[in-house]
Chain A
Amino acid sequence: MSGNKLALRVLSVIAGLVIVALSFWVGTSANSWLLPPEATQEAVMVDKLFRATLVIATGIFLFVQATILYSVVAFRQQPGDTSDGPPIHGNVNLEIFWTAVPAALVLWVSVYSYDVSNKTAAGGSAGLGCSVDCPMIVQKVSNPTGKELYINVLAQQYGWTFTYPGLGGSEVGEMHIPAGQEVVVSMQAKDVIHGFWVPDFRLKQDVIPGRVTRLRFTGTKIGEYALVCSELCGGYHGVMRSQVIIDSPSKFNQWVKTELTPKTASLPVSGTKLALK
């Protein structure tokens, strides 16, 4: 082996190690610089998957950019050299290699995603945004554990209203849920398609006129979280926002008593105000 070749080997091993280290560093630290807080059990699982794919993506990204940079520096045409490069048309082994490795990687990501997707829909629930049109889901929803909190959501241009069946008849303009209890949200739209999205929950489901769509999740971290409309719904789409508040169970019960009893009914704020304008 000539000195040049040896140097190249050493260089590529070092580059490979640096790429692997950087990829892990970028990917595993994603929660600190790229993602909002995790406020549900589901968010924790989704983020874990996200970090894993980010490690892989960063690795491939750095590999490609490093190869480009190296080629640009090492293989530039020398002044005065007008001859062509070597007539290499391909390399079957190499081509099989770079077909098989990405195939294996995407299959692994698929299997992992499948797993997370099912787990975030765990407990025989409707899970991540399935509609009642899906027979499997109807069956699962009809077998509730009995401990869920049911909330009905009505979306309309440009606001959200919430009702809590069985907990007093009032409509409210923001959603309160107790920490640690599973929540089933059933959503209907009055006019056009809207999207129920709480970024800190990592959950999103379109709200489609003419059908009921559901989400099931368990809030874990007490706090106020933005609820935004994620499906273009007209001129004021950008201001169709509300909040989801995760309370401690005792505080939630207090809120139910003061806010959901009909006599202290508060008008849904965000929605009707704009609609009446």
Chain B
Amino acid sequence: MQLTQDQLQPEPLQDWRRYFSFCTDHKVIGIQYMVTSFVLYLAGGFLAMLIRAELLTPDADVLVTPDGDPTPYNASFTIHATIMIFLWLIPMLAGFANFLIPLMIGARDMAFPRINALAFWMIPPGATILLASFFFDPPGAGWTSYPPLSLQGVTDANGLVHFHTGQLLWQISVILLGTSSILGALNFITTIWEMRVPSMGIWQMPLFCWAMLATSIITLIATPVLTGALVLLTFDLVAGTSFFRPESGGNPVLYQHMFWFYSHPAVYIMVLPGFGMISEIIPVFSRKPIFGYKAIAISSMAIAVLGFIVWAHHMFTSGTPQWLRMFFMITSMIIAVPTGIKVFSWLGTMWGGKLRFTSAMVFAIGFLSMFVIGGLSGVMLASVPIDIHVHNTYFVVAHLHYVLFGGSVFAVYAGIYYWFPKITGRMLNETWGHIHFWLTLVGFNLCFLPMHKLGLMGMPRRVASYDPIFTYLNTVVSVGGFLLGISTLPFLANAIYSWIKGPKAPANPWEALTFEWTVSSPPPVENFTKLPVLTVGPYDYGHEGRSPDEIIRH
């Protein structure tokens, strides 16, 4: 329900303490999400650098216990992945959505502000529990936590087998974080569907809203299945049930089905909002309307639907019958088509425009360039005979990082450079933004491009020691990894300095057309003192002074 003019509350104190409280303002919650997840991103990145330090040499010698057991290595990659997925990308993108969606659709807050705050406040305990698991026999079964490995006890120095506390903590943490994102998704769907200003039909919504609508539908349908799988796994772990224990009749492959039923759509949960942000940024800095608005909006929905029938392509070597492998191969191939439509539409948007190379734009172009590589290796992975060779190898590690870093993280950075003035009221330094971009691009490719070859040549993933023939390429990868880690520093310095001392941002520094740029930077507490009326489409660039028949629409 929208507040009417006379119901507007007087502004509460603009106090820093509200960022540490159960505040129901969507903008505060958005910032809470973004800052929290960025801090955790640094932790996850630090773990990645430890992993790369271990892999500088073929032997397990860095992340090992004093008696040479590489369990700490396994814990590092398990927690690295869990942080990057559940505590960095998903909450970071939820942060953007929280901050932007009400502003983009002309609403004064989210539909359920208290649920919104609750969803955020499940993240700090989830993060604390996950990080605490490091000190209680850390979980080491990978972020996939396949049973029976995840159900095995831990053997101590005296040969006694103990209950795996760290694994239990991991499961509790992921169940909490999953619940948080279900609550968030519920809120986004309701807000986008119910709270648009009357003048905004669904075909006038900014594409970021379309992307978040698709994302939230996936989250709402898929996440409960993961939560269910983890609850069953927890029963197996603590209560001696055997849903997944083969020795007493359970089926470990059933877990894989339930896990991937969520975790493949989860990839789209992590990348669709990034697509949405790119669809906002490229038209602004190309000074041209988005090319094929409806095709982009519909392809988001198509990806959301198709995303539910591709999961078993993660299981081509799990004893999946041939006919089922063929089914999942074809669906996985087809999902490349809507993704391709988006990529070509962004290229079409830039074509013939007047490109302005702001930091946001160069990251958006970097996204386009890098994401394509991940998309193409994805098609290769969908092919059953090729997948059988490269499944569980560094080829997959390369692929997923091209999608989730080259795709999502580049998009997140583009989004930060673009909306930072709106969020903080300050401008970021553009020169340092470009330095950040080039360091990231070089470090990223140095780190992940050689991994394709490592996988094809025969290096499996999740290993602490490897065949010495792979030493050279692994050294290159590690150097790239360290550079990628260092590339975060100029950004961090820029963001902290600019937030405190940067030049004040005007309401619309980029001359953009969506609603969030019509209010001051940062926006007032109630967003809009008077609700806006949509007079110009979100991407109607180049219309000024032109006659209607010059405008090419369809």
Residues of A at the B interface (CB closer than 8 Å) are 34-36, 45-46, 49-50, 53-54, 57, 60-61, 64-65, 67-68, 71-72, 75-78, 81, 83-92, 94-95, 98-99, 102-103, 106-107, 109-110, 113-114, 116-118, 120-121, 127-131, 133-134, 136-137, 191-193, 195, 197, 199-200, 202-206, 208-211, 213, 226, 228-239, 241
Contact = CB atoms under 8 A, between A and B. Distances in A.
A193 B252 contact: yes
Contacts of A81: 354
B74 A235 contact: yes
Nearest to A78: B354
Contacts of A103: 334, 337
A272 B489 CA distance: 48
Interface stretch (B140-148, B220-228, B413-421): B140-148
Given A87-B289, A206-B318, A106 B336 contact: yes
A117 B385 contact: yes
A129 B383 CA distance: 15
Interface of B: 60, 69-71, 74, 140-142, 146, 148-149, 152, 246-247, 250-253, 286-295, 317-319, 321-323, 325-326, 329-330, 333-334, 336-337, 340-341, 343-345, 347-348, 350-357, 365, 368-369, 372-373, 376-377, 379-380, 383-386, 388-389, 391-393, 452-453, 456-458, 460, 462-467, 539-544, 546, 550-554
A88 B356 CA distance: 18
A208 B460 contact: no
A210 B458 contact: no
Contacts of A65: 369, 372
A9 B500 CA distance: 51
B376 to A, nearest CB: 4
A158 B44 CA distance: 29
A45 B550 CA distance: 55
Given A85-B541, A87-B543, A113-B383, A67 B347 contact: yes
A95 B152 contact: no
Given A84-B541, A106-B336, A208-B246, A77 B287 contact: yes
A230 B395 CA distance: 13
Contact of B355 (A71, A83, A197, A236): A71
B333 A110 contact: yes
Given A90-B293, A237-B462, A72 B355 contact: yes
Nearest to A53: B380
A49 B411 CA distance: 33
A127 B330 CA distance: 20
Contacts of B388: 46, 128-129, 202-205
B463 A238 contact: yes
B350 A89 contact: no
Contact of A102 (B336, B392, B466, B543): B336
